[in-house]
Structure 1
Amino acid sequence: MLEDVTLTVGQYELVLNLFSMTIAAFLGGFIYLLGMRSQVARRFQPALLVSAVVLAIAGYHYWRIYGSFQGAFAVSGDVAEPTGDSFNNAYRYVDWFLTVPLLVIETIAVLALAKAEKRSLLIKLVPAAALMIALGYPGEIAETTGPRLVWGTLSTIPFLYMLYVLWTEMGSALSRQSDAVRVKFRNLRLLLLGTWGVYPIAYLLPVFASEASASLLVGREVGYALADILAKALFGVLIAQIALVKTAELIEAGEVDLTDGESVRVTAP
């Protein structure tokens, strides 16, 4: 198993420092999103709240991942050797199982679509997100290439379905949004595509290696952590920016009055 390899002190500290940076990014994003809720119209506040919840869940699990990784290795001289305690990678999948469906929910919530349209998208995307993560986990813990490829392929099916819905059916909903919102939402979808594309690469790293190695373990953890920062913390910032733009448009159209208590102190993005 990957967790049975010996790391250099530099590799060990790289992973721990990256986990620490990830926790800090989630904490900072969580505080930012809670602060931004008062600056957007009430109809967009649930999207920011869900985004903050995503970061809180992710931050907790990375704190547990940090502790588990620290306990799995002991520094001795110039190396960090396995202690015999397992590195619990399941924390990451529990996190994804909870947060990926919530990422879908916040994406749809910030558009403030009609109730029927919103329900239709949620019914299609949320179960697919949960299924994608559930199917990927057995392959992640598999010790041989065959099961990893089988479960990875099965997990790819709902992944491709989600991308199809995000680019087609949600695309029709975007046609009714302003140019400014469409541009920001295009960036949001590109971020999803870019970051979600990193996960399969990290997932398949063991397939392309003849044996477990320190570089393989470090590559997997670095890939997953960086993708999580972008797919959750940066994603949440983009959600807030979309909410700010849409709030400003509502104010300009006279649909939201700053004096009616619905929103306060809207700041241009």
Structure 2
Amino acid sequence: MVSAFLELWRLAQDWRYAFTFSDGLWRPVNDAFSNGFRYVNWSIDVPILLIQLVVVLGLTRKSAISYATKFTIGGLLMIWTGYIGQFYEVTDPIPFWIWGAVSTVFYVYVLFVVWGLISKESDNLPKSPDNLPGMMRFVRSYLFITWTLYPIAYIIPAFWFDGWGVVTRQIIYTVADVTSKVIYGVILGYIARKRSEAIDYEPAMATSRR
């Protein structure tokens, strides 16, 4: 979540200096605004956030390594192929759509693995307190909904060419980042804490050293 906040702060700074107010209008300056920081951040956050599912579900070592590998490779390929495509979003629509389609294949693959993992393992979580299996199934649906915002934002330049299209794309990306990282992390952290309580782990306590 820390990296998500840093990413959003940096993007806000870049967005602020990408325009200047002149003659009653905000006009772009010479340096173009870049989504590069988003892709760098996604390359860090997406594997970590998905691997957190593996940790919270308490998989065996062999299964944990298998799923972590799938999430890391699938997630990075999804991000990097999409990043290649966005270089062509203005200049050449054909490579944009090709790389976007390749990225979508990995996007569907990752969500398919997430769905299968949670469907298979959620019932192994303690049912008391707070019906943790039900909460984990909510996380499954929540990820599908929030992740859907990314491909919507990705294809906006192909249909919406003016300044409002650019602004709308950044708003959707930002909402997606907050919901699929920060809020997702809070929900998963709550499930992890309740799971620890159910199996009699003591909460961490800060102690002073003398």
| TM-score greater than 0.5 by the shorter chain | yes
Which residue is 1:191 aligned to? Answer: 142
1:85 corresponds, among 31, 46, 60, to 31
Please give the secondary structure, in 2, of the residue aligned with 1:175.
helix
What is the one-letter code of the residue matched to 2:25? V
Which residue is 1:224 aligned to? Answer: 173
Which stretch shows the higher mean deviation, 168-177 or 219-228? 168-177
Please give the secondary structure, in 1, of the residue aligned with 2:30.
coil
C-alpha change, 1:78 and 1:187, in structure 2 (3 Å) is: farther
2:99 aligned with 1:148, yes or no? no
Counterpart CA distance in 1 for 2:23 and 2:146 is: 36
What is the one-letter code of the residue matched to 1:244? R
- For structure 2, the 5+ residue unaligned runs are none
Which residue is 1:27 aligned to? Answer: none
1:234 corresponds, among 179, 183, 187, to 183
What is the one-letter code of the residue matched to 1:215? W
Please give the secondary structure, in 1, of the residue aligned with 2:26.
strand
2:31 aligned with 1:118, yes or no? no
2:79 aligned with 1:128, yes or no? no
Which residue is 2:157 aligned to? Answer: 206
- Alpha-carbon shift at residue 208 of structure 1 (Å): 2.1
The answer to whether the Cα contact below 8 Å between 1:202 and 1:224 also exists between their aligned partners in 2 is: yes
2:17 aligned with 1:71, yes or no? yes
The answer to whether the Cα contact below 8 Å between 1:68 and 1:87 also exists between their aligned partners in 2 is: yes
Counterpart CA distance in 1 for 2:97 and 2:111 is: 21
Which residue is 1:244 aligned to? Answer: 193
Please give the secondary structure, in 2, of the residue aligned with 1:88.
coil
The answer to whether the Cα contact below 8 Å between 1:68 and 1:86 also exists between their aligned partners in 2 is: no
Counterpart CA distance in 2 for 1:264 and 1:65 is: 36
- For structure 1, the 5+ residue unaligned runs are 1-54
Please give the secondary structure, in 2, of the residue aligned with 1:160.
helix
* 1:83-125 residue CA offsets vs partner (Å, 9 max, x unmatched): 1112121111111111111111112112222111111111111
The answer to whether the Cα contact below 8 Å between 1:72 and 1:83 also exists between their aligned partners in 2 is: yes
2:111 aligned with 1:160, yes or no? no
Superposition TM-score, scaled by structure 2 size: 0.89
What is the one-letter code of the residue matched to 2:198? E
Which residue is 2:85 aligned to? Answer: 139
The answer to whether the Cα contact below 8 Å between 1:131 and 1:158 also exists between their aligned partners in 2 is: yes
Aligned residues: 201
- Give the alignment's Cα RMSD to 1 decimal: 1.7
- Alpha-carbon shift at residue 127 of structure 1 (Å): 0.7
- Give 4+ residue runs of structure 1 displaced > 3 Å after superposition: 262-265
Superposition TM-score, scaled by structure 1 size: 0.70
